[in-house]
Amino acid sequence: MDSVRLDFKSDDTISSIPYINPLVEKRLKMKLDLIIIPILALGYVFNSLDRSNLGNAKTAGLSKDIQLTGNQYNLVLTWYYIPFIIFGPIMTLVTKHFSGKYNLPFMLFGFGIASACTSVVRNYGQLVACRILVGLFEAGYLASNVFYLSTFYTRNEIAARIGIFYAGSVLASAFGGLLAFGIFHVASTAFLFTWSYLFIIEGVATVVIAVVLFFVLPKGIRTTCFLNEEEKGVAEARMLSDSVDTLNVEFVWSEAVREFKTWHVYYRACISITFGVLLASNANFLAIITQRLGYSVVKTNLYTVAPALSASIVLVMVCFASDYFKTRGIIMAGVLCLSVIGYIILMTVDVAKQRGVAYFAIFLCTIGAYPMSVIFSAWVMDNITNLNARALTTGCLISIGNAAGLISSNIFFQNEAPRYISALIGNAVCAGVCMIFCIGYVVWMRLENKRRDRLYGTRDDITAGIGDCRDPNFRFRT
């Protein structure tokens, strides 16, 4: 294929897209998979560690050591989510403008420093201040990663790639449990508590990873140093054939808000906030839920490892299946069934007498939660071809999902410990409602595609020149 720089406008046609050499495409994907995906996954591991380490620290006596009372731990989580939610869309647009090469390392560096500072807090106010800073710098991190990946991968590949790097967050739960298991053997000193070492190690490591990301990540296809001109041309042609409407898009606010003029973004928001409750519960309360089994602090953190590892394996498998069968909603509904079953079991069994059954239920809850954000993000990307609209909509929807953390952090009532029955009921209901939303959306999309085929005829599934889902040439990905 000739070296071509592609710069399509809205009136580009399918015939404008150059031939894609499959051998070059294979080589291109291998390079992207071996360079971009691993480094993003590593960054997301430490993002997740810094977000969820508070739950591990609580099991090691954080609340007692800094004299938290009542529901102050829940309030700490609430304060974290406020900047995390508000600044999510803004940080995603910043990533769109400056590229993930600059903004992703900046965010990692910021919350790494804030997390390390948590090691020296001595009271509720200091802990709140540190968690607000962590939430501020972590705002939009997932959405920025997802958007960044969508500028390199097509709709038929995006779920699997998001799944691989997102598995880092699930592995972080396992690694965080193992790390906590080792660190919590260290005795407190006059200056540092046992849990302080957890924040120091994870925070400093995050800063180091931020520096690595800055030097490894490319700004975009045209500035990718590990691709030759032929591979860059194929990469651009791939994006136009099955991802975006045009390349080299300058930020235009009217395009960014285009999706908000349709009902789809509001329906997707309902899906996002319901599965977001499940994700937040697993991130912040997995160790606390596992503590119900009656094990020691050290064993409790160790027993969070197996569910997280299992969830990471299932997550990747489900994402590859989603890409292979080109379906999102039905797979989301199927996985949500596991969460419903898991929470029902935890509500009904006597944990003290049936530890094995309860532990199995924790597996189901974890496995049923983690694939949701990945497949949902891919589903949103599939149906938004404009990069400006994609950046803002993804940032908003993921922030809305993160807002569910406000719900999750305030339904684990301390006076209900260790059963937390209100939280279990709330999570089960959210999983069931989300499942209904997903199935309903799939049914509507399939009926709408058939209606458009009947009125306008069938067409090749090419995204070049299609501005949004209201275009009669657009076909929804279900």
Q: Which residue segments constitute the domains of the chain, with CATH numbers given?
A: 16-456 (1.20.1250.20)
**Predicted local distance difference test score (pLDDT) of residue 73:** 87
Mean per-residue pLDDT of the chain: 86
Residues 45, 50: Cα–Cα separation, whole Å? 9
Compute the chain's Rg from CA coordinates.
Answer: 22
Query: Amino acid identity, residue 101?
Result: K
Q: Are 346 and 365 in contact (CB under 8 A)?
A: yes
Give SS3 for 251: coil
Q: What is the mean pLDDT of residues 453-472?
A: 81
Residues 230, 24: Cα–Cα separation, whole Å? 8
Residues 398, 276: Cα–Cα separation, whole Å? 9
| DSSP one-letter string for 347-408 | HHS-TTT-HHHHHHHHHHHHHHHTHHHHHHHHHHHHT---HHHHHHHHHHHHHHHHHHHHHH
* Helical ranges in 118-195 per DSSP H: 124-138, 141-150, 158-183
Residues 221, 216: Cα–Cα separation, whole Å? 14
Residue linked to tokens 């349709």 = 262
Q: What is the mean pLDDT of residues 14-27?
A: 77
Q: What is the DSSP letter of 439?
A: H
- 30 burial level (CB within 10 Å; 0-12, 13-18, 19+): exposed
Structure tokens at 92: 């995603």
**Predicted local distance difference test score (pLDDT) of residue 167:** 80
Residue linked to tokens 């995390």 = 84
pLDDT digits (tens, 9 = 90+) for 312-339: 889 999 999 999 998 999 999 999 999 9
Residues 412, 431: Cα–Cα separation, whole Å? 17
Q: Is the pLDDT of residue 4 over 60?
A: no
Q: Are 247 and 17 in contact (CB under 8 A)?
A: no
Q: What is the mean pLDDT of residues 90-100?
A: 92
Q: Is the pLDDT of residue 377 over 90?
A: yes
What is the percentage of the chain residues whose pLDDT exceeds 70? Answer: 88
pLDDT digits (tens, 9 = 90+) for 336-375: 999 999 999 989 988 778 888 888 998 999 899 989 999 9
HSE-up (13 A, CA, CB side) for residue 401: 28
Residue linked to tokens 């965080």 = 176
